[in-house]
Amino acid sequence: MKKLLSIIIAGMLLIGCSDSNGVKVKERTITKQELKDQWPIKTTDKAIIKCYLEPSGTKAPVVVVNGIPYGLTGYADMHYGQDDIKAFNKIWADDPRLKGLKVDLSKLTEEALKLCDDKVEK
């Protein structure tokens, strides 16, 4: 029985779940090793990416670093992150190739959005 319960819980975490408003959320861990030189976070080598899929079809990509959620778009940050788009600046890595710029967030955002597009039943 204990093993069955563990399998059910693990499956729910992997597949995702819906909240009471019908918003589906899926998540997974992502690492610096995976994104290599496109890793945009200076404070850690791993994070959790999430994608919130609303009943309207709106997708909200989020990254969770040390337990703190940061929206990767303005909408995602307002609804599921810090509601302060500048909050991410504290953990955002400088681009070593282009002085004065930050590492591009598009790869991280793309990986989070893929979770909403995953065909696994949520």
pLDDT band at 17 (very low <50, low <70, confident <90, very high): low
Domain-located, residue 92 = yes
Nearest alpha-carbon partner for 87 in 109, 106, 65: 65
Q: How far is CA 73 from CA 32, 61, 76, 94, in A?
A: 20, 7, 5, 19
Domain-located, residue 122 = no
Domain-located, residue 7 = yes
Query: What distance in Å separates the CA atoms of residue 7 and residue 24, rounded to the nearest whole number?
Result: 20
Q: Which helix (H) or strand (E) holds 108?
A: helix 106-117
pLDDT tens, 34-59?
A: 999 999 999 999 999 999 999 999 99
Domain count of the chain? 1
pLDDT exceeds 60 at position 2? no
Q: Where are the beta strands (DSSP E) in the chain?
A: 17-18, 24-31, 46-53, 59-65, 68-71
Domain-located, residue 54 = yes
- Domain membership of residue 101 as a residue range: 2-117
Query: What distance in Å separates the CA atoms of residue 74 and residue 49, rounded to the nearest whole number?
Result: 16
Lowest mean pLDDT among 7-11, 64-68, 98-102: 7-11
Which of the pair, 92 or 1, is modelled with greater confidence?
92
pLDDT band at 119 (very low <50, low <70, confident <90, very high): low
List 60's β-bridge partners, or say none.
Answer: 52
pLDDT exceeds 60 at position 30? yes
* Structure-block tokens of residue 57: 């079809």
Q: In terms of C-beta density within 10 A (0-12 exposed, 13-18 middle, 19 or more buried), how is residue 83 classed?
A: exposed
52 neighbors 24 (Cβ within 8 angstroms): yes
